[in-house]
Structure 1
Amino acid sequence: MIRAQDAAVAAQLPELIEASASDPIRRGELRGRALCARIAALHDTYDELFRTVGGEPLERGDLIARTIDAVRRWWPEGADEINGMAQGAGLPAEHVWFLNTRTELLAEARRLGAGAGARECSVAVQIDASAASTVGIQTWDWHDHMVDCWHPVAISGGKQSYVGMTESGIISKIGVNSAGIGVHLDILFHQEDHAGGVPVHLVAGRILAEAGSFDEAVEIARNAPVSASSAISIHDGARAVTVELSPAGAELVEPLHDWLVHTNRFQTPRLRQGEYRNPEETDSDADAWARQAVLRERTAREPEINGVDDLLQLLDSEPNQFGQLTCLPALSEPIGRRWHTLATMITRPVEQTFSIKAGIPLGDAPLRTFAVPGSDSTEAATSAH
């Protein structure tokens, strides 16, 4: 079955952006040069989004300065790579930091009473003990007018090499590294969320760039001084866990019946007590819990999901189904409220491969597979499913 979606979404085939250098500033410069026009355009797009969601104007410069200080203390190499991207792109450093801090700035806007409840990202990770492997799949649901903001990326030269997907100018999001660590990311909402801490995208980035083991990846996430909440799901071929991050601390979600699922709401009791709920966005809250329920039911019914087709079916949903795993926008809604699944991704840490297709899981875009630089796997492209 092939489901209909926005043709512009399905048509995206962005090139793989590669950067290899031992110096993080140099790695950033290489990325910035390759993406200069796209980084500048995405900065302007997010700038427009912040003006659209309204609310009190943010003291963006001060918030970004606080973020830079936090990152410098926690991961100086990450700060260097972001500054290198700005240099390579020929842009003010604040423009690239703005992109890397966009989740935190949106949290700050939400704290001040602006913004809409997000409908974004469903994650599932399967542990197959008999095959000594794990596989993760997720959708990335985001604003439909940002259809061309993402690209696959392959980075090498640091502690670990990695391959994955990110937005232009943002250090990292989702991927697999050379130590066999897979990383997925979905947003959470806590009453204490604000801007000024270490961005969640840099937490994912540091895991991919540095973690040499499952335990090290979990510790990087747990010890990150974040100011906005997100769930980082980590797997390594034998184990899987979701680290729920928030300004109130971190908690772990363990797999249930060899499956880890996550859908934008806290699952751990302590953090759930402080979850942010907008009384005007109850449909967003209900949708997130419905998506989790659908995934729980599907993985319980079919605990052994075999092959790419089964994985893609897992995150498919009917139009207007309660629990929109496949996200399509209501075109009557204004910018800032039109959510579309812009990409579907599969991580296989044992094989050290990352697969991605533009748009929804059962859309007509091809599934492309990329290998971690230097791994035994080879880059391949597969047909549409």
Structure 2
Amino acid sequence: MRQIGKQHGTAAKDKIIRCIGFYAELFQRHCHLSWSDVRTAVRPFEENVKKMWPNLHEEMKGVADGSAQSLVDIVALNVRTEIAFGKFSDGCTSLAWLTKDNAFLGQNWDWQEKQRQNLILLKITQPNKPIIRIMTEAGIIGKIGYNHVGVGVCLNALRAPGVDPNRLPVHLALRLSLECSSASDAVQMLEKWGVASSAHMLIADKHEAFGVETSAKTMQKILRDGLGRIIHSNHFLLPHPGVVDTKWLEDSPFRVDRMRELTDELNDGPAWDMILKLFEDERNSPASICRYELGSSTFGTLFNIVMDLKGGRVVVRMGKPSQVEEVISMTF
């Protein structure tokens, strides 16, 4: 695992350094945390990851070695969701749609435009585990992606106070989900360990799909609706007793409703080209499914990913899917 991380760190060194700088400035501006404060907050997470998931800790060590950065800085990137109790988060809109003939999973990932230059695509090969492809921020070893046996994961940021360093950090939860051989196995793994903070993880394979809403105290599972869909954005859809959903993006319910409206209009059910088109929608712009960093909308869509889990194909569209800058096509 150290060697996997070292390859990541070496190849993405400049982006990792910029990524650390990006979050150092962000934590200071939005959370009034110096990077020294962040490093202190990270320690309990590092200790627990080292104890409970030593392979992931070794991989982060390798990233630090390869990029010539401190291990605690790399851990900070990987637990950025947990730092400051979720006082800031990235937004996005995700969709899983499974029918007899198709199994599609996809999302737009929305964040500050300046972070676009620090995105990377990882390919991770480990003995006796599925081959993984992840779209992520440099230095972070888990995020949105798929594995070669057809399990895919998407992420929606949620914001609820509370964090538990004894549970699995969100980005590492995504990574371990992709080391599973089915969506059900991934959900069982998350239920076993718990997740350290609030998030929604949309997990699917060619047969099943589950939305997993988490907080530092709770976990609720969303099942497919009558048409085989799960649609999510950036607020809790299920009740979580004792958890306060800050509903930090006023447009989040609109994006869920809009995706449902658009998919309702597909009378013949899902098809590849139409799934791609869904994520290009700009109704309610700039706070639309395809989002713009403009005015009160403080971040925009940086990439779109669509996975055909039955057909074994994946497309990543860099930039806004309505204004594609680069297309990365993959098969598994």
Give the TM-score normalised by structure 1: 0.79
Q: What is the correspondence of 1:247-286 to structure 2 with a 5 Å cutoff?
A: 247-256=216-225, 257-270=227-240, 274-277=243-246, 284=249, 286=250
Match of 2:215 in 1: 246
Aligned mate of 2:198, from 220, 229, 240? 229
TM-aligned CA distance change 1:223 to 1:249, over 3 Å: farther
The answer as to 2:331 corresponding to 1:362 is no
TM-aligned CA distance change 1:92 to 1:153, over 3 Å: same
What is the Cα-based RMSD across aligned positions, in Å? 2.2
Per-residue CA deviation, residues 176-225 of structure 1 (Å, 9 max, x unaligned), is 112221111111122334667432000001111x2022221111222333
TM-aligned CA distance change 1:155 to 1:56, over 3 Å: closer
Output the CA distance in 1 between the equivalents of 2:135 and 2:90: 19
Per-residue CA deviation, residues 343-385 of structure 1 (Å, 9 max, x unaligned), is 00012233443321112222132422123xxx4xxxxxxxxxx
Per-residue CA deviation, residues 232-258 of structure 1 (Å, 9 max, x unaligned), is 111111111111121122110011121
TM-aligned CA distance change 1:302 to 1:248, over 3 Å: same
Output the CA distance in 2 between the equivalents of 1:221 and 1:353: 26
The answer as to 2:270 corresponding to 1:296 is no
Match of 1:59 in 2: 37
Aligned mate of 1:183, from 140, 153, 165? 153
TM-aligned CA distance change 1:64 to 1:56, over 3 Å: closer
SS at match of 1:41: helix
TM-aligned CA distance change 1:102 to 1:83, over 3 Å: same
SS at match of 1:147: helix
Q: What is the correspondence of 1:33-72 to structure 2 with a 5 Å cutoff?
A: 33-55=10-32, 59-72=37-50
Whichever residue aligns with residue 93 of structure 1, its letter is L
The answer as to 2:1 corresponding to 1:30 is no
TM-aligned CA distance change 1:74 to 1:299, over 3 Å: farther
TM-aligned CA distance change 1:83 to 1:25, over 3 Å: same
Aligned residues: 328
Unaligned runs of 5+ in 1: 1-23, 376-385
Match of 2:276 in 1: 312
Conserved 8 A contact 1:74-1:224: no
Deviation at residue 321 of structure 1 after TM alignment = 4.2
Output the CA distance in 2 between the equivalents of 1:106 and 1:258: 36
Aligned mate of 2:144, from 174, 178, 190? 174
Deviation at residue 44 of structure 1 after TM alignment = 1.0
Match of 1:162 in 2: 132
Output the CA distance in 2 between the equivalents of 1:364 and 1:225: 37
Per-residue CA deviation, residues 117-147 of structure 1 (Å, 9 max, x unaligned), is x561100111021x2x311110000011212
For CA contacts below 8 A with separation 6 or more, give which structure has more relative contact order: 1
Unaligned runs of 5+ in 2: none
Output the CA distance in 1 between the equivalents of 2:285 and 2:3: 47
Per-residue CA deviation, residues 23-60 of structure 1 (Å, 9 max, x unaligned), is x1111111111111111111111111111214365732
The answer as to 2:173 corresponding to 1:203 is yes
Whichever residue aligns with residue 300 of structure 1, its letter is D
Whichever residue aligns with residue 85 of structure 2, its letter is A
Deviation at residue 319 of structure 1 after TM alignment = 5.9
Match of 2:67 in 1: 89
- Structure 1 window deviating more from structure 2 (68-77 vs 120-129): it is 68-77
Conserved 8 A contact 1:197-1:226: yes
SS at match of 1:46: helix
Whichever residue aligns with residue 80 of structure 2, its letter is R
Output the CA distance in 1 between the equivalents of 2:302 and 2:310: 26
Conserved 8 A contact 2:218-2:240: no
Match of 1:217 in 2: 186
Match of 1:381 in 2: none
Conserved 8 A contact 1:177-1:349: no
- Structure 1 window deviating more from structure 2 (137-146 vs 58-67): it is 58-67
Output the CA distance in 2 between the equivalents of 1:145 and 1:189: 22
